[in-house]
Amino acid sequence: TASGKGLAVTLAMAAGPPPPLEPSPLPTFPEEGFADKFLRKTRENPLVPLGCLCTVSVLVYGIICFKKGNTRRSQLMMRARVIAQGCTFAALLGGMAATAFKSRQ
C-alpha cells in the first residue's frame, strides 16, 4: 500500500545519520559603525557606490531638464537613469557572486 511504502521510506531515512548541517561561519565585525561598514563595503565592491552616484546624478539632471521644459533631454536622462540602475544592480549581483565564490574556496 501507499502508506506502507511511505512508512518504509521514513524508517530508512531515520535509520541513517542526518546530513551535516554546519553552515560556514559568518564574518563578524565587532562594534562597526556606519562609516566603517560603508568604507569596508566600498572597498569590497567599489562599482556599487559609483553606480549609485551615477544614477542619482542622471536623475537630478533629468529633473532639472524637465523643470526647464526640455522634455526631449529629460526623457533621454530618464532612459539613461534606467540603464545606470541596471548597471548598478549588475555590479551588486556580481559583487555578491564574487564574495560567495571567494568564501567557498
Is residue 100 predicted with pLDDT exceeding 70? yes
Flag whether pLDDT at 6 surpasses 90: no
The pLDDT of residue 14 is: 59
CB contact at 8 A, 48 and 92:
yes
Mean pLDDT across 93-104:
85
Rg (CA), the chain: 25
Greater pLDDT, 3 or 28: 28
> pTM for the complete prediction?
0.62
pLDDT digits (tens, 9 = 90+) for 19-65: 667 777 776 767 878 888 889 888 888 889 999 999 999 999 999 99
31 or 75, which is more confident:
75
The three state secondary structure string of the chain is CHHHHHHHHHHHHHHCCCCCCCCCCCCCCCCCCHHHHHHHHHHHCCHHHHHHHHHHHHHHHHHHHHHHCCHHHHHHHHHHHHHHHHHHHHHHHHHHHHHHHHHHC
